[in-house]
Chains A and B, each alone.
Chain A
Amino acid sequence: MDFATLLQMLDATLRLATPLLLACLAGLFSERAGIFDIGLEGKMLAAAFLSAAIAAVSGSVWLGLLAGIGASMLLSLIHGLASITFRGNQLISGVAINFLAAGLTVVIAQSWFSQGGRTPQLTGDARFNPIELPFAEALQNVPILGPIYYELISGHTILVYVALAMVPLTWWILFRTRFGLRLRAVGENPAAVDTAGISVVWLRFAAVGICGILCGIAGAYLATALQAGFVKDMSAGRGFIALAALIFAKWRPWYALYACLLFGFLQAMSLRSDVIENVIGFQVNGQFLDVLPYILTVVILAGFVGKAIPPRAGGEPYVKER
């Protein structure tokens, strides 16, 4: 494999890791506050659809992004209502949200655009276009660093940089602010937070809301940046890979970045099986690369390679009276 191919692969890794990273950080906020969320997939899908639809109709990708976030927030609200207000089962609520999104997106897309459950192709300002970082062109000919800067770091859509910036931001919010401390506490011991006079319900709703925003961005990225329009089931299990990455990262922001880059790299590899064959000399089944994230997660969950311990109060509705 030559240097240019390697750069191409890493470039694809970054593009494919972005939706995983955004969804993974979304899950991080929710689960750190004690709300399990297996509905990441559905929220991404709903956001992907509405962002593409609004972008197609209005011609503005930014309006699309807002609409996508709105759709994702609405599902978050349902999840919050079910799991916080009515103390229902968070896992069942997540399953319901996934199906709600899978069904509604196609039903609405079909009646709105009549294109077999897709939105029209997005062009021009209706999708996020790559942005050239300063001096990328000029520095292109500098050996090694030039191509890295030009190919790998520059030339992505703005949402890729947003996702990368979210990692330190998430770390700072969770570990350096009062809100973050309380949010983590509510996921470990909600009774203690309640005793301190802080509203458990409000904190958990805030976490679920942040989760909605991030999933919304992730979905909008799928439909308006990675691809040009919505197609049925386009999230294609990414919400679950993000969930896997979250466990892989043991619910920590920086590790989440590494896990998502790893899983993004696996996805990039399965797209370029010819390159792998050249490097290691034999053919690798693309299917195998696709499910490797899931297998790795099961191994991690089994505790054979370091133990993944979830937030202690995760999945339990908080009941004030005893």
Chain B
Amino acid sequence: MDVMPKWADVILIPLISILLAAILSALVILAIGENPWEALKLMVDGALGSTYGWGYTLYYATNFIFTGLAVSIAFHARLFNIGGEGQALIGGLGVAIICLYIPWPHWSLALLGASIGAAIFGAAWAAIPAFLQAKRGSHIVITTIMFNFIAAAVLNYFLIGALKAPGMEPATPKFPEATHLPSFQDMFNFGETTFFRGAPANVTFFVALAACVALWALIWKTRLGYEIRSFGHSESAAKYAGISPTKIIMVTMLISGALAGMMAINNVQGEAERLVLNAVEGAGFIGIAVALMGRSHPFGVLLAALLFGFLYQGGAELALWTSIPRELIIVIQALVILFTGALDNMVRMPLERLFLAMRRAKT
């Protein structure tokens, strides 16, 4: 029997972990001579105080939903896909090729095509580490780390070579007009009042929401999801039940890579409308923090992605108005990963003891 009620596991522990991370972050801000309360107010104001701020927050959140889901599905099979960064980079390559070389008549078709392209490219980049894990037992964490570096080099190779636009910058040409996705500004434009003016949030946000629902259904409502979860709980038991480890590792990692790759329709097709170097900007790694905080549940991932979207946009505002550099967000991200992931037991053990004592007191 579980020591703790379920709500404590899914709500209380993450909340305490975030609180610990927040307290430490506040101490860091204090230590560099700024006021944490003022900083928080500035962040809330900058990220949530206007539709412009919300537009950025939701744009970042869209990236993190995709990468967070990618890490989550792998976690369910007890695989640690640290290669979301590389898969998203290569996904961007897929989006660029599809947008540049196919004459799309309308953005909706282009979105569909680019999504498929991004997913296939991302999945392909995850396929090699997955195959090596399944067939040769090579540790997937190490291989996916290596593939992140290789992906950056591959992208660089194409951006200074075959896909490069005329000029000095290593980037592709602008995508054609027909592939441009409608931004929130286009969608929520009511005559005089235009919401989300100038913000990069776009229709991809709804694709991300759909991905959350689809992944939830896949994990908890299908036979494949059941197999993935049982493999994650016990590989030997899954094998005994006739589940093929090779198949589960391959399929899980392909889905994971596809999700990470699909991030590219947001940042490459939706925002930049061309492919540039280092387009992912660490979102692949933030997926790890998001998945850990969201307890690998799509709804949790959505909430965690929104929180990180807020942190990203708020952090950018902080860097603009105060002397606190943007890198503070990386510190917060590290603390969240540390407390919700690695030091989980530090929070959990005393809580479990508390709940045990409470139950004894009752009986």
Most chain B beta-carbon contacts within 10 A, residue among A86, A95, A102, A117: A95
Q: Contact flags (1/0) for A206-232 with B, using CB distance below 8 Å? A: 000000000000000000000000000
Would B325 and A92 count as touching, CB distance under 8 A?
no
Would A117 and B149 count as touching, CB distance under 8 A?
no
- Nearest CB of chain B from residue A199's CB, rounded to whole Å: 19
Most chain A beta-carbon contacts within 10 A, residue among B150, B285, B332, B335: B150
Q: A38: CB under 8 A from chain B?
A: yes
**Residues of chain A contacted by B332 (CB below 8 angstroms):** 103
**Residues of chain A contacted by B132 (CB below 8 angstroms):** 298, 301-302
Would A88 and B343 count as touching, CB distance under 8 A?
yes
Would A285 and B157 count as touching, CB distance under 8 A?
yes
Q: In the complex the two chains form, what is the Cα distance from A117 to B33 in whole Å? A: 16
Q: Contact flags (1/0) for B119-155 with A, using CB distance below 8 Å? A: 0000000001000100011110111011101101100
Interface size on A, residues (CB 8 A): 47
Would B157 and A91 count as touching, CB distance under 8 A?
no
Q: In the complex the two chains form, what is the Cα distance from A231 to B247 in whole Å? A: 45
- Nearest CB of chain A from residue B335's CB, rounded to whole Å: 7
Most chain B beta-carbon contacts within 10 A, residue among A81, A97, A100, A247: A100
Most chain B beta-carbon contacts within 10 A, residue among A38, A103, A243, A303: A103
Contacts A102-B327, A104-B28, A110-B325: A93 and B153 contacting too (C-beta < 8 A)?
no
Would B337 and A99 count as touching, CB distance under 8 A?
yes
Q: In the complex the two chains form, what is the Cα distance from A297 to B324 in whole Å? A: 39
**Residues of chain A contacted by B153 (CB below 8 angstroms):** 287-288, 290-291
**Residues of chain B contacted by A108 (CB below 8 angstroms):** 32
Q: B342: CB under 8 A from chain A?
A: yes
Would A294 and B149 count as touching, CB distance under 8 A?
yes
**Residues of chain B contacted by A302 (CB below 8 angstroms):** 132, 136, 138
- Nearest CB of chain B from residue A141's CB, rounded to whole Å: 44
Would A111 and B149 count as touching, CB distance under 8 A?
no
Q: B323: CB under 8 A from chain A?
A: yes
Would B146 and A96 count as touching, CB distance under 8 A?
no
Contacts A82-B338, A240-B145: A92 and B288 contacting too (C-beta < 8 A)?
yes
Q: A176: CB under 8 A from chain B?
A: no
Q: B328: CB under 8 A from chain A?
A: yes
**Residues of chain A contacted by B342 (CB below 8 angstroms):** 82-83, 86, 88-90, 92-93, 96
Would B146 and A86 count as touching, CB distance under 8 A?
no
Q: In the complex the two chains form, what is the Cα distance from A103 to B336 in whole Å? A: 13
Would B331 and A111 count as touching, CB distance under 8 A?
no
**Residues of chain B contacted by A78 (CB below 8 angstroms):** 338
- Nearest CB of chain A from residue B35's CB, rounded to whole Å: 13
Would A287 and B138 count as touching, CB distance under 8 A?
no
**Residues of chain A contacted by B344 (CB below 8 angstroms):** 86, 88
Would A295 and B150 count as touching, CB distance under 8 A?
yes
Contact of B341 among A96, A110, A244 (CB under 8 A): A96
Contacts A104-B331, A107-B32: A301 and B139 contacting too (C-beta < 8 A)?
yes
Contact of B334 among A86, A100, A110, A298 (CB under 8 A): A100
Select from chain B the residue with minimum beta-carbon distance to A98. Answer: B334
**Residues of chain A contacted by B139 (CB below 8 angstroms):** 301, 310
**Residues of chain A contacted by B285 (CB below 8 angstroms):** 95, 99
Would B331 and A100 count as touching, CB distance under 8 A?
yes
Q: B20: CB under 8 A from chain A?
A: no
**Residues of chain B contacted by A313 (CB below 8 angstroms):** none
**Residues of chain B contacted by A110 (CB below 8 angstroms):** 32, 323, 325, 327
Q: B156: CB under 8 A from chain A?
A: yes
Contact of B141 among A38, A88, A106, A298 (CB under 8 A): A38
Q: B19: CB under 8 A from chain A?
A: no
- Nearest CB of chain A from residue B132's CB, rounded to whole Å: 5
In chain A between 81 and 136, which residues have their CB closer than 8 angstroms to a CB of chain B? 81-83, 86-93, 95-100, 102-104, 106-108, 110-111, 114, 117
Q: B256: CB under 8 A from chain A?
A: no
Would B346 and A96 count as touching, CB distance under 8 A?
no
Instruction: Write 19 A-B pairs (CB below 8 A) sorted by A numbering.
Output: A78-B338, A86-B342, A88-B346, A89-B341, A93-B342, A95-B337, A97-B338, A102-B334, A111-B323, A243-B142, A287-B153, A288-B157, A290-B153, A294-B147, A298-B143, A298-B147, A301-B136, A301-B142, A302-B138
Listed in ascending order, the chain B residues whose CB lies under 8 Å from chain A are: 28, 32-33, 80, 82, 128, 132, 136-139, 141-143, 145-147, 149-150, 152-153, 156-157, 285, 288, 292, 323-325, 327-335, 337-338, 341-346, 349
A83-B342, A95-B337 are known contacts; what are 15 more A-B pairs with Cβ within 8 Å?
A: A38-B145, A86-B344, A88-B345, A89-B342, A96-B334, A96-B337, A98-B334, A100-B334, A102-B330, A102-B334, A103-B331, A104-B28, A110-B323, A114-B323, A298-B147
Listed in ascending order, the chain A residues whose CB lies under 8 Å from chain B are: 38, 78, 81-83, 86-93, 95-100, 102-104, 106-108, 110-111, 114, 117, 237, 240, 243-244, 247, 285, 287-288, 290-291, 294-295, 297-298, 301-303, 310
